[in-house]
Amino acid sequence: MLGDSSEDYMAATGAKWLNQQGVHVMAMSPDKKDYGHHSYPLERFGKAIAFMKAQGCDKLGVMGASTTGMMALLAASYYPELSLTVAISPSDFVMEGFYRDGKDGMAERPGDNESSVTWQNKPLPYLPYAYRHPEYWKKIQEESKAGGDKVASRKLFDESERRHPVQEEERIKVENIHGKLIFIGAEDDVLWDTCKYIRRMEERLNRLPHDSAFESWLYAHGTHFAFPQSLLKMILPVGSGLLVSLMFRAGREHPKECRETRIDIDGKFKKALAEW
């Protein structure tokens, strides 16, 4: 789910929104109030699937945004029981692990050669970040300030790929995903170039055998928060676009276009859920 922490307001609101669409929800996170991602056992999704089945849920899906969008794709590539996968602003590779423990006054830092995800107690191969602590967070701060965003790391990810082109073993095996698969992203995303990543996953699916029905909803404007409009209104009832404009320069410069993107996603998303 959204927000990275199971007790996060965005995760709780996202769960309520999906409840309104007639869907049960389990929000998962590394730990309570833990916004880092490092050595997360993918088997936890297997336990969640078993639990949901025990409650009588015979149709199971997974949804995530940003880092949890990557997690959703990974989970679906390992667990064929998942028949609907929605990834908002995802990457197409396993990210290096990161911490948000405030070490040395930095809001975020990379793990020391640590993957974001493990499988059977072994780290999954990952794209290493271009910078180490404390330079990592300083680079994010520099990029954010230069672009007028609350947070931006697109150049960091571009530089990471320049120094270490993504290897096959680091890519998410989206061809193993079953059922309905939906990618959502915006070109003006400043966290990373999600549309490039989504197009690479499209190319991979077009090249390799797979049995999923995939769709890509790509937009010029929408920022990293390419959410359904009615979900964003639940998160922030008064001035639903305010959060986007506060976080991202593109949200301030193109509020109308971003809102139109969210409205379009809203209609498509509800239709896809109803059909599923």
- Domains delineated in the chain: 9-97+173-275 (3.40.50.1820)
Pick from 22-36, 185-199, 243-257: least confident:
22-36
Which of 199, 228, 206 is CA-nearest to residue 88? 228
Average pLDDT for the chain: 94
**Mean per-residue pLDDT, 162-178:** 98
What's the CA gap between 15 and 63, in Å, rounded? Answer: 10
Which pLDDT score, from 0 to 100, does residue 62 have? 96
| Statement: residue 19 has pLDDT above 90 | yes
What is the model's pTM? Answer: 0.96
Which pLDDT score, from 0 to 100, does residue 4 have? 67
**Mean per-residue pLDDT, 137-155:** 98
Q: What percent of the chain has pLDDT over 90?
A: 87
**Mean per-residue pLDDT, 36-52:** 93
Which pLDDT score, from 0 to 100, does residue 3 have? 61
Give tens-digit pLDDT for 65-91.
Answer: 999 999 999 999 999 999 999 999 999
Q: What percent of the chain has pLDDT over 70?
A: 98
| Statement: residue 177 has pLDDT above 70 | yes
| Statement: residue 1 has pLDDT above 90 | no
Mark residue 33 as left, alpha or beta (left: phi above 0; alpha: psi -120 to 50; beta: remaining): left
Which pLDDT score, from 0 to 100, does residue 32 have? 72
| Statement: residue 10 has pLDDT above 90 | no
Which pLDDT score, from 0 to 100, does residue 2 have? 64
**Mean per-residue pLDDT, 31-60:** 90
Residue 101 CA: distances (Å) to CA of 11, 197, 199: 20, 28, 33
Residue 229 CA: distances (Å) to CA of 4, 17, 232, 267: 20, 11, 5, 9
Q: Which of 28-37, 55-64, 231-240 has the highest mean pLDDT?
A: 55-64
**Mean per-residue pLDDT, 217-242:** 91
| Statement: residue 149 has pLDDT above 90 | yes
Which pLDDT score, from 0 to 100, does residue 7 have? 76
